[in-house]
Amino acid sequence: MGGGRAKAIMVQGTGSSVGKSVIAAALCRMFAQDGIDVAPFKAQNMSNNSYVTADGGEMGRAQVVQAQAAGIEPTTDMNPVLLKPEADSRSQVVINGKAVGSFAARKYWGDQSDVWREVTAAYDRLAAKHDVIVLEGAGSPAEVNLRDRDIVNMRMAKHADASVILVGDIDRGGVFASLLGTVELLEPDERKLVKATLINRFRGDMALLDPLPQMITERTKVPVLGVVPFLYDLQVKDEDGVTFGDYDPPANPTTLTIAVISLPRVSNHDDLDPFRRAGCRVRVVDQSAQLGDSHIIIIPGSKSSISDLQWMKSRGLDKAIKIAAQQGTTVIGICGGYQMLGESISDPERFESQTTDFEKGLGLLPVRTIFNQAKTTRRVEINVPTQDSGILAGVKAAGIGYEIHVGEAEITDKNASSLARLNNGNESWNDGLIASEGNVLGTYVHGFFDSPEILSRLLTNVAKTHGLPAPEIPEFSMEAEYYRLADHVRQSIDMDLLKSFIYS
């Protein structure tokens, strides 16, 4: 195509979780397959599931997935604003990859002129480098109470001069009313931008849909782009990365069971994906009695380590986890979870906590965490050394991950064993700890267990401890998933209509 400003297609939805992110990823891969230089964009994300770019910037995972589907390196221009909730009405605000502070909702949603300038500047930079931009909206464009401060949906569509595809989720029911109601609640100039609707996640006999698509076309005055059937076991993640819920494969007495603590401010819970793929039973728990006969307990990442630690204590989970560890259960802490496993978390300037500047940890690892204003965001290479004993016993293993955290770790036992050696190409350092008993470990690295080598070491040793067969770590290719998604959507929509949006 080449030359001038990029053509823009925008995926909006009748509400949250209708599949916008996945449809946008499919479009990115489809256009890339057709030789089109395409990039994703979302003005503002609200999620604690984030990622680190090559230059150390922080952005939402959805646009990372879409960039990977497009075959390009993710950059923060693809998601210039990221809101990371810390409480019900307060979020950390990340602009152009860097945290600029924490703000109450009322303050952030006040004068947004500065934020809008950053958003449009990021989009314009992106649109000058690529031929097509696939934009993603948020929630619904028909939230009338938010229209005057909505920078993600129609205001962004107008700036990009985008052809809007409105997605409805038929699996939820009421898709006709959702699509029609959304269109009718739009302002006339906004309605003109809607070029098609899309029915997503259909299950069953397609013939039973008639005459629904025709009725939607007649009432909305725009064509139905297609009906996308439900795609089972898809590994391409939606906006928040994974559904933070139970994964219960068919009953098998040899299956490893993992209890994941359901932290109120959980972050980056896609760290659980490798365990699901390995066939482990994953249970999300919020009561001490639910730990039951778990073989592994995971305390995942947290956006608010102190408040989530206090929440654990209020439910007796801290004591239950310590007892389980003493009885030989494997306990893993990732990022904020690692901090909670230590002796204490201090926040003297109250950068993270609004209620206290000190909280005693579980004391299972000899480390103290001290918060400061500096935030660590970096990609890392992981090297786990050969070990003769413990839950990571085995030959050396390697992987790739990333760090996103505040706080400095102070190791209180000079003889403590580090978990891994990290490097980012410029320097190297030790990460994490393994308890002397060998069954408790903590790491700052998200994606630590994405490495089949590291995951295999962990699960093999835990299984052996409990007299179970070692689980098989399946081969997994995200590229194959992108191709599967793209082919699925391509066969379900009117490709001529879609191409008319970028070639007209």
Tell me, yes or no, whether 243 lies in a domain: no
Tell me, yes or no, whether 242 lies in a domain: no
Same domain, 131 and 152: yes
Supply the residues annotated as catalytic: 335, 446
What is d(CA 219, CA 188) in angstroms, rounded to the nearest whole number?
15
State the DSSP string of 18-53.
SSHHHHHHHHHHHHHHTT--EEEE-SEEE-S-EEE-
What is d(CA 373, CA 365) in angstroms, rounded to the nearest whole number?
24
φ/ψ of residue 297, rounded to 5: -115, 130
What is d(CA 8, CA 159) in angstroms, rounded to the nearest whole number?
10
Tell me, yes or no, whether 312 lies in a domain: yes
Asked if 308 contacts 272 with a C-beta cutoff of 8 angstroms, the reply is no
Tell me, yes or no, whether 334 lies in a domain: yes
Which domain CATH number covers 452? 3.40.50.880
> What are 351-357's contacts with CB under 8 Å, separation 24+?
351/406, 352/86, 352/304, 352/305, 352/306, 352/406, 353/304, 353/306, 353/307, 354/87, 354/90, 355/306, 355/307, 355/310, 356/306, 356/310
Query: pLDDT tens string for the chain (504 positions)?
Result: 555 689 999 999 999 999 999 999 999 999 999 999 999 999 999 988 899 999 999 999 999 999 999 999 999 999 999 999 887 778 889 999 999 888 887 777 777 889 999 999 999 999 999 999 999 999 999 988 888 889 999 999 999 999 999 999 999 999 999 999 999 999 999 999 999 999 999 998 988 899 999 999 999 999 999 999 999 888 887 665 445 677 777 767 778 999 999 999 999 989 999 999 999 999 999 999 999 889 999 999 999 999 999 999 999 999 999 999 999 999 999 999 999 999 999 988 887 777 778 899 999 999 999 998 888 999 999 999 999 989 999 999 999 999 999 988 999 998 999 999 999 988 999 999 999 899 999 999 999 999 999 999 999 999 999 999 988 898 889 999 999 999 999 999 999 999 999 997
Single pTM value for the model:
0.91
Same domain, 225 and 338: no
Query: Which tokens is 275 given?
Result: 């365990």
Query: Which tokens is 499 given?
Result: 């191409």
Tell me, yes or no, whether 349 lies in a domain: yes
Q: What's the pLDDT score for residue 9?
A: 98
Same domain, 269 and 335: yes
Same domain, 358 and 263: yes
Same domain, 411 and 495: no
Same domain, 100 and 202: yes
Q: Return the DSSP state at 205.
A: -
Within 10 angstroms of residue 196's Cβ, the number of other Cβ atoms is: 23
Asked if 474 contacts 278 with a C-beta cutoff of 8 angstroms, the reply is yes
Which domain does 436 fall in, by range? Answer: 257-475
Q: What's the pLDDT score for residue 348?
A: 87
For the chain, what is the domain count? 2
What is d(CA 75, CA 63) in angstroms, rounded to the nearest whole number?
9
Tell me, yes or no, whether 392 lies in a domain: yes
Tell me, yes or no, whether 244 lies in a domain: no
Distances (CA, A) of 395 to 119, 386, 419, 462: 47, 4, 14, 16
Same domain, 424 and 485: no
Same domain, 32 and 179: yes
Which domain CATH number covers 147? 3.40.50.300
What is d(CA 289, CA 286) in angstroms, rounded to the nearest whole number?
9
Tell me, yes or no, whether 1 lies in a domain: no
Tokens 């950053």: give the residue: 118
C-alpha neighbours within 13 Å on the C-beta side of residue 62: 29
Within 10 angstroms of residue 292's Cβ, the number of other Cβ atoms is: 11
Same domain, 287 and 424: yes
Same domain, 290 and 155: no
Same domain, 266 and 224: no
Same domain, 207 and 263: no
Q: What's the pLDDT score for residue 89?
A: 77
